[in-house]
Structure 1
């Protein structure tokens, strides 16, 4: 299997657009993005000319980190991710909050396929130290920026709220980064289906 070469966010977005065009998809009912994937999803949402009805960000890493800091982060992140492959997933809990067998194989595969060049390029044009991109007011009303109350990414929530004034900002009380999605994928899927159906989160006892 050939490793894909990362060129830029723009290139990644264009790949997605070409795929959708080949599939004849002219409207997206729901976009779901987690962690650093939210950065790429936002680039797609704000540049692709395709109607989007709902958006759900799960622990989106909407950070504004300077270029020098990002360069310094690269070797440490590279070694952390590679360790997942070298240790067969034993270091997962040191990097994240979990070592669930259900998700471990994906992290191991990510560690195996990661290249230093791809990570360096990806960090260079992600987590930018620029203002968050603009979202139309109407689309904000159908966008959910969810954070777990005990995850490190929770620190980004206030900045996101100040930018997207018309968005929805549920807190999953007591949950860590992407914990509901990882520990209860069926419940997570049912929640997303309800958002599509009603444009609202269903009742969940841990949501505040």
Structure 2
């Protein structure tokens, strides 16, 4: 990925954004890249400490769940995620259509690690934002991430489910990200529980 970015003339990443299982992969990228990075925003990152055996067992179930989105023309989306918005169905259907078992297996094995979280400098941590919705299942991973990266930021979207803000209001989500990049902090949005508030 870094070679591709450099081939495109990218010398700095002002903002890296990753969601759900993609946050695990973005973290792997962060620990290996030499490109300067301004800020990182994780939306509902799983950061699950799951052993290899369990990951192997999960793969076929996740494969059929995601493939079902294509087979059912999005009809199973609400069973897999919390919503079935018409605006996002085409993306999930396309994901189901294009998914291969081999690619999913590689992604699962490369993420959901059972190892310790990678070490990040205090300076890098100060520019990391780990956001979780207060009612999403992944909220349970927040404490472990806070302990691993004590200098990071941990806003909670009160009353929101997994990735719900970016799906329901992509414009507002983009404006929030632009604010973080420009002002090195979270904007004051009414549903955000303050970063320093206790869990």
User: What TM-score do the two structures reach when normalised by structure 1?
Assistant: 0.91
Match of 1:66 in 2: 51
* Cα offsets for 1:130-185 (capped at 9, x unmatched): 00111110111111000000000000000000000100000000000000000000
TM-score (normalised: structure 2): 0.95
Q: Report what 2:197 is aligned to.
A: none
For the pair 1:203 / 2:194, whether they are aligned, the reply is no
CA–CA distance in structure 2, aligned partners of residues 189 and 126 of structure 1? 26
Moved more, 116-125 or 64-73: 116-125
Work out the CA distance in 1 between the residues paired with 2:104 and 2:78: 21
Alignment coverage as a number of residue pairs:
193
Which residue among 61, 75, 83 is the counterpart of 1:90?
A: 75
Mapping 1:6-155, distance limit 5 Å = 16-155=1-140
> How much does 1:121 deviate?
2.2
What is the CA–CA distance in structure 1 between the aligned matches of 2:70 and 2:187, rounded to whole Å? 38
Tell me which moved more, 98-107 or 173-182: 98-107
Preserved CA contact (<8 Å) 2:126 2:153: yes
Q: Aligned to 1:172, which of 157, 168, 180? A: 157
Displaced runs of 4 or more, over 2 A: none
Q: CA deviation at 1:123?
A: 1.4
Gaps of 5+ in 1: 1-15
Partner residue of 2:176?
191
Query: Structure 2, unaligned stretches of length 5 or more?
Result: 194-199
> Which range is displaced more, 111-120 or 175-184?
111-120
Aligned CA-pair RMSD: 0.7
